[in-house]
A = this chain, B = another copy of it.
């Protein structure tokens, strides 16, 4: 069976179609690639630092993160990947990866042969634009995280992250409406994303809960008051570049203008 026909591949192709310049032939060519499907258990390494990039890894299911361990043993996760994300886009340009990507939950990943994909990119302008936009979005997201870590309080960082994840999952068709989604990360993992300690994440989470802004238990996140949370942490979804995305009801229409406005109001 063609890998693109698995239901799990829907988020990735939904992201591809976000590009204004993608054509049916582009999608078809990518679908025809000989992909290997692999499952990584939680805590397994998907792409080790320094490995030669022979494949590009497309997340089909589960959560993963870029992970750096410092000399003193502390850990930071400068990027999170969910279904639909490519977790080593830089591998298309560089021979070796300079950051480890590890599975946070059990992950299903499609491995696309790098050299074949590169020749495909030479022929397909639309694919270049789509994957380039994904890389640029990753940069703008990383930029936003830098701003959050540099100038926002623990409460703002946490709220901002929850808003972002909610939008990202919603935009690829995961989660039930905006503000309702799974969040299978432990508080320690959240801390390693936000540059905090697990203890402080715990207390901050309680603050958001007791103020009625969110609910979070058993790996289910519910944002009770989207507008209030958004306002308090200064979240603006523009940097995620999801506008016009087909993330609405599965009737084929894209997200309406109103739906987009609702992200930011």
Contact = CB atoms under 8 A, between A and B. Distances in A.
Interface of A: 66, 68, 70-71, 74-76, 78-79, 89-90, 92-94, 98-99, 122, 125, 128-129, 132-133, 135-136, 138-140, 142-147, 149-152, 192, 194-195, 234, 238-239, 241
A241 B147 CA distance: 24
A151 B90 contact: no
Copies of this protein in the assembly total 2
Interface on chain A toward B: helix, strand, loop, or mixed SS? helix
| Most chain B beta carbons < 10 A, residue from A71, A128, A139, A144 | A139
A142 B79 CA distance: 11
A142 B146 contact: yes
Given A78-B143, A140-B99, A125 B125 contact: no
Contact of A136 (B78, B90, B128, B234): B90
A149 B152 contact: no
A129 to B, nearest CB: 7
